[in-house]
Amino acid sequence: MKRQWIPVALLALLTAWGCKPAEPPVDSTAAPADSVVRAGEPLAPLPRVIPVADSAKVELGALLFFDPRLSKSGFLSCNSCHNLSSGGADNMPNSIGHGWQLGPINSPTVLNSKYNLAQFWDGRAKDLKEQAGGPVANPGEMAFTHEAAIGTLTTIPGYVERFQQVYGGPVSMEGVQDAIAAFEETLITPDSKFDRWLYGDDAALDSTELAGYQLFKDKGCATCHNGIAVGGAMYQKMGLKKPYRDVKTLGRFNVTQQEADKYVFKVPVLRNIELTYPYFHDGSVWDLKEAVLMMADLQLGIPVSDAEATKIVAFLKSLTGVQPRILLPVLPPSSPATPKPDRSL
């Protein structure tokens, strides 16, 4: 699979130079809910309609998600590591942070992340709101402080006005995190081929994809990768049947300090998996079929032939849904009083 390397500085500049507002998500809370036609399946379809309770908050969150001024360098935004043009990830084994530091772990996709039981590989953030504050103050990521970020945003009249409109008060980190989370909750990818099949369209999947789904269930993959996001709902040890090669990244142990949680990670979401390479928490595998074969060996301890893996991959690709149509927002212009960012990245 071809590796895609995107210079972080260029990516940040692109996010800052947008000239069109973000296209608001579909707001249709009154629309009737879809009924799951194929009952009894371990997987559930995504909703076809994305309800939006507060479009002004979501729009503010979109501005903040793309704004590099939340970073010390003025180059890095949320979108730098969770690029919405590449499946909500950055297609790199390890993300690049402040000062060109390589992060310690692969960036998971932000798409459909509202369905995770917790955020980050080790589950240290209970929800998207809590997660949104972490990278801003992480010295290896955006390398700012919450106080400095709020100080910067407060000098920008456009943000002051929007925070007053949405929250009825001044710019705050509580509001920043809440707005970003509200935007991220709209990043759903409905209407995949597999979802259409779940909703009753018999022609949505071909024979290879159907065979791959049956193997996915028969081999035990659905034991961990289940539910609406096809994963993200439980923790599991990496190397359940055979030890995994990475013994340095301790996973959930860093949160709980429990010996049993060493090498335990949140099970990744498999929706849009063909777009979010490289795979695993260490980003060490670029080919999806190779990842399937490794998981069968390390996690299930069962043989999967090359032909069977090919069919499972065909099924996994049917999980790719309609990507969010987010146009780069027009960021509020800086005022002369805005502190100049540290360009030492």
- Catalytic site residues? 141
Q: Which residues contact 226 (CB under 8 A, 6 or more apart)?
A: 42, 43, 233
Return the structure tokens found at 253. Answer: 């142990």
Residue 49 to residue 35: CA distance in whole angstroms: 12
Residue 177 dihedral angles phi and psi, to the nearest 5° = -65, -40
Within the chain, residue ranges assigned H as helices are 8-16, 55-65, 78-81, 128-137, 146-154, 157-167, 173-184, 193-198, 207-218, 253-256, 288-295, 306-317
Which one, of 77, 85, 73, 74, lies nearest residue 61 by Cα?
A: 77
Beta pairing partners, 89: 83
With b meaning 16 or more CB within 10 Å and e meaning fewer, what string describes 108-147? bbbbbbbbbebbbbbbbbebbbebbbebbbeeebbbbebe
- CB-CB contact of 69 with 153 (8 Å): yes
Residue 339 sits at φ, ψ, to 5 deg, of: -60, 140
Q: Which residues contact 313 (CB under 8 A, 6 or more apart)?
A: 212, 288, 289, 292
Give the separation between CA 297 and CA 140, rounded to whole angstroms. 34
Q: Which pair of structure tokens corresponds to residue 48?
A: 């076809």
Closest CA to 250 of 127, 108, 123, 128: 123
